[in-house]
Amino acid sequence: MSLIQSLQSRMKEEWEPLGILADTVMVSARILTTEEAIGRQNDNEFPLQKGKEKMMEACFRESKGQAFTDHFANFEGTLGEIVSMELTDNFRRALFIAACNAVQHYLKKTSHTIHCRNEDISRCAGKLAAYIREQYGSPKITQIGYQPKMIAALSGLFPLRVIDLDKDNIGQTRHGVLIEGPESTREAIACADLILATGSTVVNDSLANFIIEGMPTIFYGTSIAAAADILGLNRFCPESS
């Protein structure tokens, strides 16, 4: 059983006694436009801006939760359906994760489930650099996932390697850093003191690859909000709401 399947089983066990699985309350997920998700950005580097990913937003009562995914569609149904469906692809996993974030926010067990926008994204990257310096000194960092503002903020301060899945990025030098493909992941992690990983790893079911004994990992973003709280993972997302 994968981590996300275990998480799904755990949510079903926790939510069932609350009576919300059988409620007629519906959970809906819609695809956000780029501007809705991250606001206006001066560059055009984010996967959302290229159409490679979309942000799905789940609404449960008055609470919202989000998840990035490259496999997206709209959905409306009950929580019971979501915790019972087979998480066989990125769409279903994103649907579950967005819903999980929304419900856990409603239950006041998770916060910061809505992505920051506009200048807050650059502010987050600056805070991340300061946080790493304060907590870890001058570590060699391997970043999993292409987040341009973070790369720009970190590359001049720390030895940095970046791994990404997007073929348009692989082999390109961005902000002074060569973007490497997934085949370099194991070697890049072996050379690192710290992993900085996108929370989208919970959606593509690679999360377990970046939870390594003896290796500190910082997960960033809103996708992993509830999962990080439940699994006790270190998440950095100070500008989200």
pTM: 0.89
Q: Tens digit of pLDDT per residue, the chain (241 long)?
A: 889 999 999 999 999 999 999 764 556 555 556 566 445 545 554 444 344 567 888 999 889 999 988 887 788 899 999 999 999 999 999 999 999 999 999 999 999 999 887 788 889 999 999 999 999 999 999 999 999 999 999 999 999 999 998 888 999 999 999 999 999 999 999 999 999 999 999 999 999 999 999 999 999 999 999 999 999 999 999 988 8
- Domain at 124, CATH number: 3.40.50.11590
Same domain assignment for residues 137 and 86? no
Asked whether residue 113 is domain-assigned, the answer is no
Q: Which of 71, 106, 141 lies at the terminal end of a domain, its last residue?
A: 106
Q: Which two tokens stand for residue 156?
A: 């001049």
Give the count of domains, the chain.
Answer: 2
203 shares a domain with 131: yes
- Do 43 and 96 lie in one domain? The reply is yes
* Same domain, yes or no: 94 and 130: no
Residue 130 lies in a domain: yes
Rounded CA-CA distance 148/220 in Å is: 13
The parent domain of residue 201 ranges over: 120-236
Q: Check whether residue 190 and residue 128 sit in a common domain.
A: yes
* Main-chain phi, psi angles of 18, to 5 degrees: -80, -10
Q: CB–CB of 73/199 below 8 Å?
A: no
- Judge whether 241 lies within some domain: no
Residues 217 and 142 grouped into a single domain: yes
Q: Which of 106, 141, 172 is the last residue of a domain?
A: 106
Cα–Cα distance between 169 and 149 in angstroms, integer? Answer: 15
Residue 155: both structure tokens together: 């590359």
Q: Where are the alpha helices (DSSP H) in the chain?
A: 3-15, 34-38, 47-50, 79-84, 90-106, 120-136, 148-155, 185-190, 225-231
